[in-house]
Copies of this chain bind each other. A is one copy, B any other.
Amino acid sequence: MATKISGEPSSPTNAPKPRAEGQRGPARALEPVNNRMPISPQIYERLRRAITTLTMLPSEALSEQDLAKQLGVSRTPVREALIRLADEGLIDILPQRGSFVAPIRLSDVEEAQFIREALEVSVVQKLAGHGSQEFLATARANLARQAKAVAEGDRELFLELDEAFHRSLSEEAGLPKSWRVIQVVKLQMDRVRYLSLPEPGHLETLLAQHVAIFEAVEAGEAKQAGARMTAHLREVLRTVQRLSVARPDLFGR
């Protein structure tokens, strides 16, 4: 019924929402969610983005009630999203006290790095020499776009392509769950990477490493691919460690 598109606050088709909120606009930082799709995942996704992009800073409080009001939904789906974020280590829930954006703990970041390295090195070793033609073509295209992004200094786009590149390795290796794990632990580093300072030549280095990994995978040199992945990920960790001294305010313990 009423397969409405886009304009949804204009026609209250079947909206028995009391919504008794005529109060002054409380400077909402988050837009209301689309309420024709499952709500809880939307909230999770939004908060995850807000946290990894540092729109929400470490130690910032997240109240079920406040978020529900800002998003125009009830507290239940908000709570479910918070629980999931807590499971992934992005927020800390203190019972009966409050929920807070987790501080960036260097020890956590380093262990995330350990996990990611162990997994992703194994992934490329398994993948080496077994990539389909489509995969190789797609990856090559991705690398070309990465080169373009680097040339244009589009850091945001590069990070996106970076993620897609790494994901495609796991997926082509037939290891989707592994990517899920990598993705979760990667969140810890993403928060820091997002503000990683524009160090000259950094993106070029990462791109060159991507290319090197790809070539080893294509040539079927498993050990080589693994070694290059290790070097690549350690490069990423280095930037995190540099930032931990440059911006100690964001780190905890």
Residues of A within 8 A of B (CB): 38, 76, 80, 83-84, 87, 89, 95, 108, 111-112, 114-115, 117-119, 121-122, 126, 174-178, 181, 185
Q: Is the CB of A177 within 8 A of B95?
A: no
Q: Is the CB of B80 within 8 A of A178?
A: no
Q: Which chain B positions have C-beta within 8 A of A108?
A: 177
Q: Is the CB of B177 within 8 A of A115?
A: yes
Q: Is the CB of B181 within 8 A of A95?
A: no
Q: Is the CB of B119 within 8 A of A178?
A: no
Q: Is the interface of A mostly helix, strand, loop or mixed?
A: helix
Q: Which residue of B38, B87, B111, B185 contacts A87 across the interface (Cβ within 8 Å)?
A: B87
Q: Answer whether A122 and B112 are a contact pair too, CB < 8 Å, given A83-B80, A87-B87.
A: no
Q: Which chain B positions have C-beta within 8 A of A126?
A: 114
When C-beta atoms are compared, the residue in chain B nearest to A122 turns out to be B118
Q: Which chain B positions have C-beta within 8 A of A176?
A: 111
Q: Is the CB of A115 within 8 A of B181?
A: yes
- A-B contact list, 6 entries, CB within 8 Å: A83-B83, A111-B177, A112-B177, A114-B122, A115-B181, A118-B178
When C-beta atoms are compared, the residue in chain B nearest to A40 turns out to be B83
Smallest beta-carbon distance A227→chain B, Å: 14
Q: Is the CB of B80 within 8 A of A111?
A: no
**How many angstroms from the CA of A83 to the CA of B85 in the assembled complex?**
13
Q: Which chain B positions have C-beta within 8 A of A84?
A: 83, 87
**How many angstroms from the CA of A95 to the CA of B121 in the assembled complex?**
36
